[in-house]
């Protein structure tokens, strides 16, 4: 008989038919006459109840049905009289694929801390919390592709191994096949990367933007969605060494168009989650964050406040707050500053524009004041920066001058500069940190809990 997923069965009203389910046992309870199994197959947060008439089964087999075991059950689907479920299965046959020893199964009891669950990343997907988070992660991925596809953007795959560190977004992880001990050295006594796999130094990418720009300058509107890597030693609840980023890049967009797209995109994703992931959101709302659903709705109902960095700094200086890091024009804003603007001052998402050029990347379009660039960062409650983007410098000589000022390797980046030499065009883009989005949408407090296998300093165990 064909297996039916629990999600489908729970909404079914076709009673009294034989059905076949498979999944993992969340709990078993009962007495010597009747046993109740709560079964979950990951298709939905809820379990289906399987009612077992103990007298009709082999006692030894029933002993194997422990919390955590994997079983298949066949039986009659009936309307449930019990509280908390609408349907249940009255079992006629049971098959045990794999028992789980109740003495050693780590998820035997409920209520483990998230810290403990991080140590058992191989089993934590079997908890309600991580089931909900990973289903939401899937739904958001799908919604991202849908949003862009519906708008006519093309999904461009940019390389993961790159030969350039032009972004300057953070320290990079080297990719090499040279032996760690006694690598070949050149005449200057330095490692000779000409002997390396690619015949040059290569790293894992920190961003797909520069290659994304090449795509946009041909296909008009593209987006990337892939893993990015940053070897910064930032052990915070908002940083990963390996995270996923979505980077749309659009020709003929100025910074205002860029901001409009970013706001529409974030609202679309939040709306998608509310429309399609209600059960999981309600679970997370009840278990972790009573304001989660309210906060999601709030983002939909309010325009994002758009102000310049300079205005933001003035507000922070006048705020009378004591911050851990001082606020001064020219310094990068810390999460505490961003969150003050969003949570206390404006009480809504904020988009800050026109940052000092010295704290932003070389490719951002320079303003006429000679001091600021057309950057835009979207700041969110609880998260701080969720999106970073800008209008790009499309003028060849301004870009080249800026690269020289910043001592960037111009001869290695000839390909990027050539886009401004041949048919240059105004264009803009931004990067959304996928896990930061998920922090917001799930209400989880630590970025390690919204990615299946987090990579952070001193942690890449499995």
Which of 74/390 has CB closer to ligand 4AD? 390
Instruction: Check binding of 385 to ligand 4AD (CB under 6 A).
Output: yes
The CA-atom distances, in angstroms, between 213 and each of 153, 335, 403, 408 are: 13, 29, 17, 18
Binding region for ligand 4AD (CB under 6 A) out of 7-15, 45-53, 238-246, 348-356: 238-246
Instruction: Check binding of 338 to ligand 4AD (CB under 6 A).
Output: no
Instruction: Check binding of 429 to Mg ion (CB under 5 A).
Output: no
To the nearest whole angstrom, how small is the minimum distance from the Cβ of residue 175 to ligand 4AD?
19
Instruction: Check binding of 431 to ligand 4AD (CB under 6 A).
Output: yes
Of the candidates 189, 237, 215, the one whose C-alpha atom is nearest the C-alpha of residue 416 is: 215
Q: Which of 46, 230, 357, 360 binds ligand 4AD (CB under 6 A)?
A: 230
Instruction: Check binding of 438 to ligand 4AD (CB under 6 A).
Output: no
Which of 23/384 has CB closer to Mg ion? 384
Binding region for ligand 4AD (CB under 6 A) out of 290-298, 337-345, 350-358, 431-439: 431-439
Instruction: Check binding of 436 to ligand 4AD (CB under 6 A).
Output: yes
Instruction: Check binding of 389 to ligand 4AD (CB under 6 A).
Output: yes
Instruction: Check binding of 430 to ligand 4AD (CB under 6 A).
Output: yes
To the nearest whole angstrom, how small is the minimum distance from the Cβ of residue 158 to ligand 4AD?
10
Binding region for Mg ion (CB under 5 A) out of 30-38, 58-66, 236-244, 386-394: 386-394
Burial of residue 63, with CB atoms counted within 10 A of its CB: 0-12 exposed, 13-18 middle, 19 or more buried:
exposed
Size, binding site for Mg ion by CB under 5 A: 1
Contacts (Cβ under 8 Å, ≥6 apart) of 423: 217
Which of 266/296 has CB closer to ligand 4AD? 266
Question: 2-25: string of b/e by CB count within 10 Å (b at 16+)?
Answer: eebebeebbeeeeeeeebbbbbbb
Q: Which of 212, 248, 381, 388 binds Mg ion (CB under 5 A)?
A: 388
Q: Which does 269 bind (CB under 5 to 8 A by kind): ligand 4AD, Mg ion, none?
A: none
Of the candidates 435, 433, 431, 437, the one whose C-alpha atom is nearest the C-alpha of residue 249 is: 431
Residues of this chain that bind ligand 4AD (CB under 6 A): 167, 169, 207, 209, 230, 239-240, 243, 245, 247, 385-390, 429-431, 433, 435-436
Residues of this chain that bind Mg ion (CB under 5 A): 388
């Amino acid at each position: 008989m064909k297996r039916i997923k629990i999600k489908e069965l729970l909404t079914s009203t076709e009673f009294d038919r034989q059905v076949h389910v498979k999944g993992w046992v969340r709990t078993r309870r009962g007495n010597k006459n009747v046993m109740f199994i709560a079964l979950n197959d990951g298709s939905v947060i809820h379990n289906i109840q399987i009612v077992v008439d103990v007298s009709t089964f082999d006692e030894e087999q029933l002993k194997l049905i422990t919390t955590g075991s994997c079983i298949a059950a066949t039986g009659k689907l009936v309307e449930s009289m019990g509280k908390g479920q609408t349907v249940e299965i009255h079992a006629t046959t049971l098959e045990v694929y794999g028992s789980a020893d109740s003495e050693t199964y780590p998820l035997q009891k409920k209520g483990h801390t998230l810290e403990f669950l991080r140590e058992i990343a191989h089993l934590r997907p079997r908890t309600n919390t991580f089931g909900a988070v990973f289903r939401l992660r899937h739904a958001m991925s799908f919604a991202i592709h849908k949003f862009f596809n519906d708008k006519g953007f093309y999904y461009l795959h940019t390389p993961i191994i790159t030969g350039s560190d032009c972004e300057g977004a953070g320290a990079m992880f080297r990719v090499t096949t040279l032996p760690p001990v006694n690598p070949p050295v050149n005449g200057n006594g330095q490692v000779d990367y000409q002997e390396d796999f690619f015949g040059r130094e290569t790293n894992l990418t920190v961003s797909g933007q520069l290659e994304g720009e090449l795509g946009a300058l041909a296909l008009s509107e593209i987006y990337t969605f892939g893993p990015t890597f940053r070897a910064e030693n930032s052990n915070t609840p908002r940083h990963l060494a390996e995270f996923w980023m979505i980077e749309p890049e659009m020709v003929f967009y100025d910074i205002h168009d860029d901001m409009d797209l970013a706001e529409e995109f974030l609202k679309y994703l939040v709306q998608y989650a509310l429309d399609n992931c209600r059960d999981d959101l309600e679970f997370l709302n009840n278990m972790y964050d009573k304001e989660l659903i309210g906060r999601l709705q709030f983002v939909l109902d309010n325009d994002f406040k758009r102000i310049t960095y300079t205005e933001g700094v003035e507000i922070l200086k006048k705020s009378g707050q004591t911050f851990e890091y001082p606020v001064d024009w020219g310094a990068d804003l810390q999460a505490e500053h961003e969150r003050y603007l969003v949570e206390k001052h404006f009480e809504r998402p904020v988009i800050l524009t026109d940052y000092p050029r010295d704290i932003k990347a070389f490719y951002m379009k320079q303003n006429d004041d000679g001091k600021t660039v057309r950057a835009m960062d979207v700041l969110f409650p609880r998260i701080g920066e969720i999106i970073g983007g800008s209008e790009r410098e499309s003028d060849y000589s301004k870009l080249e001058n800026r690269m020289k000022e910043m001592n960037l390797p111009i001869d290695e980046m000839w390909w990027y500069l050539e886009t401004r030499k041949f048919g240059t065009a105004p264009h803009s883009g931004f990067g959304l940190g996928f896990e930061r989005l998920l922090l917001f949408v799930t209400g989880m407090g630590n970025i390690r809990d919204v990615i299946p296998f987090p990579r952070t300093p001193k942690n890449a165990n499995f």
